[in-house]
Structure 1
Amino acid sequence: MMTRSFNKLPEECVSTILSLSSPRDACRAAAACSGLRAAAASDFVWESFLPDDYNEILSRADQSLVNKIGSKKDLFLILCNSLPIDGGNKIFMVERSQGLKSYILSARELKIIWANDPMYWCWKHASCSRFSETAELRTTSWLEIEGNIKTNWLSPNTTYGAYLIFKVSERAYGLDTMPMEVSVQVGNDPVCRTAVHLHQDDGGPKHQIERLLYSNRIQMLASRVVQGPTGSVPVLPSARDDGWMEIELGRFFSGKPCDHDDDREVKMSLMEIKGHHLKGGLVVEGLEIRPI
């Protein structure tokens, strides 16, 4: 009965109604009734699902790609799959069901201590990466990685999570002997701070020897790391669908729509206590900021 009622309405009226729904609802309407397909596919409907600043975002993308985009629905679907911007050093995406904004910052966009010193880090292309370069840790006793983003880049009234995207090479060492500190700060306000492990001890001979040789030092350094809520244990990384691993650095609220003139900076960081504990084999692709 509802579909029949919609069919009696002018297409412009149906488009207006659908524009107040969601991308998922518009697709469902088109699938449910052939008479609604034209309205559900209209630029008017799909432009309402695009971010308010989509033209500014498109201006930061490869214009040869932008010029090939046809309808607003096509643009929305491209943004769902990811759009490289800022010379390919960032990726912009929208979440398919509600159109919420996400970003991935490449390793080049992050502040990595000593990243440009070839003694400690090297930059190389990884065939499985979406970026032209990844950062691979050779060796260091001081690991600190920081990413930054402005709140007005994000969808308002939304809770976001920040995730370091990485791999651990076969020659990795020292990454699983003690936890790292991760934190998120919005403006001048610390939001969260906890401990994570970048690599899980597999109990093999190599790790047993490391713990035997450095057990006292590891215990001393680990005592300096914040452990989060009472009784909690450091968070472990999880596998992603793209073949990489990720570890959550923390969560934060982007602010209400009226707050977005604030343009506050979100600082997301991972740091090991400076204890001269050597480590290597970490491969960093970037940092993802996505809605939860």
Structure 2
Amino acid sequence: MNFADHPRKFYSRKGSHLPFFGFLCFCYALLFSLMGANFSSTFTDPNACSLVGSLCLQTSSPPATKPSLGDLPEGCVALVLEYLNPQEICKLAKLNRAFRGASWADFVWESKLPVNYEDLIERVLGDDLRDKLCKRDIYTRLCRANAFDDGTKKAWLDKRTRGVCLSIASKGLAITGIDDRRYWNYIPTEESRFNSVAYLQQIWWFEVDGQFEFPFPAGTYSLFFRLQLGRAGKRFGRRICNTEHVHGWEIKPVQFQIWTSDGQHASSQCFLDDPGKWNLYHAGDFVVDGANASTKLKFSMKQIDCTHTKGGLCLDSVLVYPCKLREGLLHF
């Protein structure tokens, strides 16, 4: 197969995904392919002198410049960059001008974005930015933790998987008794990406609800509650956790549920434990088939057995992640 004529077909054949070193080898193969016609014509031209004569002629002429990666056409480079990951693209952009120009090609970065990236821009960044940013800048912006809905939510793109992740602050949830400081209050902390958590001192009826609508790309997602038993703080520069108010969670399990607008339902239950450490409690999974522009989701966490009180709990946020990131997330 001719590299110069069909670089996309060669590189994208089934099962082909060359690593960084393999990419460089491919570039050199493409470079020699592009220059091969001129090289071979020296020895195959029927009108040329004898082989010896042509060799003598070459020795008396200035030596030809050796081919380099800088001789590759920018368009060919861009076709190959399309199949590399963003980190490799940024490294190769430092090689020369052709690679730097190819690294800004819109189709290269569009291949790294979710199919519905325009809906994500409108929901997270605002519709006015859609036509002002190139695809590389859109990718860069979406990979940040972008706050929206008055700062109660943050969304970002996972660089490895192109999956969309979402976090909802405790202030974006409906918490029973949150307005009564005898039960709940918000405390500042550096241990939350929202810089504050809701702290429960004591209550009989424990219930937290939430709902939102978001343009998730097609895939399977998991929903978690990020909780901690005990109130974290610092003393003499060291982290400590006050567990004075922790009680009642070992008597009955906490119930978690999620519902989607297309009729999906999932539930789970577990006892809260491990004081002094942030834990992710899995509420359930849901599937987005891509047929709808947005998914409406409702979720809840409750322990409403009023035969006993419970307290000493920090509620940070609700997290929604692609299921394929779940294993790594559990070590978060």
TM-score strictly above 0.5: yes
Counterpart of 2:288, as a letter, is: S
1:178 lines up with 2:252 in the alignment: yes
2:184·2:200 contact (CA, 8 Å) conserved in 1?
yes
Kept in 1: contact 2:190–2:196 (CA 8 A)? no
Q: In 2, are the aligned partners of 1:164 and 1:287 still within 8 Å (CA)?
A: yes
CA distances 1:3-31 after superposition (whole Å, capped 9, x unpaired) = 22455563234435544x4xx63433564
**Corresponding position: 1:114 with 2:174:** no
**CA–CA distance in structure 1, aligned partners of residues 90 and 196 of structure 2:** 41
Offset at 1:141?
1.3
- Cα deviation, 1:56-75, whole Å, max 9, x if unaligned, reads 221299x9xxxxx9975465
What residue number does 1:2 align with? 26
| Kept after mapping to 1: 8 A contact 2:264/2:286 | no
**For residues 107 and 186 of structure 1, what CA distance do their matches in structure 2 show?**
20
Question: What is the count of residue pairs matched by the alignment?
Answer: 239
For the aligned residue pairs, the C-alpha RMSD in angstroms reads: 3.3
Contact 2:216 2:295 in 1 (8 A): no
The alignment partner of 1:76 has SS state of helix
Unaligned runs of 5+ in 2: 1-24, 35-71, 231-242, 324-332
1:253 matched residue in structure 2: 287
Higher relative contact order (CA 8 A, sep 6+): 1
Maintained 8 Å contact 1:147/1:287: no
1:278 aligns with 2:309: yes
Kindly indicate whether the alpha-carbon contact (under 8 Å) linking 2:215 and 2:295 is maintained by their aligned counterparts in 1: no
The secondary structure found in structure 2 opposite 1:12 is helix
Matches within 5 A, 1:142-221: 142-150=205-213, 152-156=214-218, 158-169=219-230, 170-171=243-244, 172-187=246-261, 189-200=263-274
- The alpha carbon displacement at 1:128 in A equals 2.1
Q: 1:40 to 1:251 in 2, by over 3 A?
A: farther
- Structure 1 counterpart SS, 2:161: coil
Aligned mates of 1:113, 1:86 — CA distance in 2: 21
TM-score w.r.t. the length of structure 1 is 0.69
Q: Specify every segment of 5 or more residues in structure 1 that has no aligned partner in the other structure, as ranges.
A: 64-68, 203-237
Do the aligned partners of 2:288 and 2:295 also contact (CA within 8 Å) in 1? no
What is the CA distance between 1:94 and its match in structure 2? 0.6
TM-score for the superposition, normalised by structure 2: 0.62
* Match of residue 205 from structure 1: none
Residue in structure 1 matching 2:190, options 127, 139, 145: 127
Change in CA separation of 1:143 and 1:59 when aligned onto 2, cut-off 3 Å = same
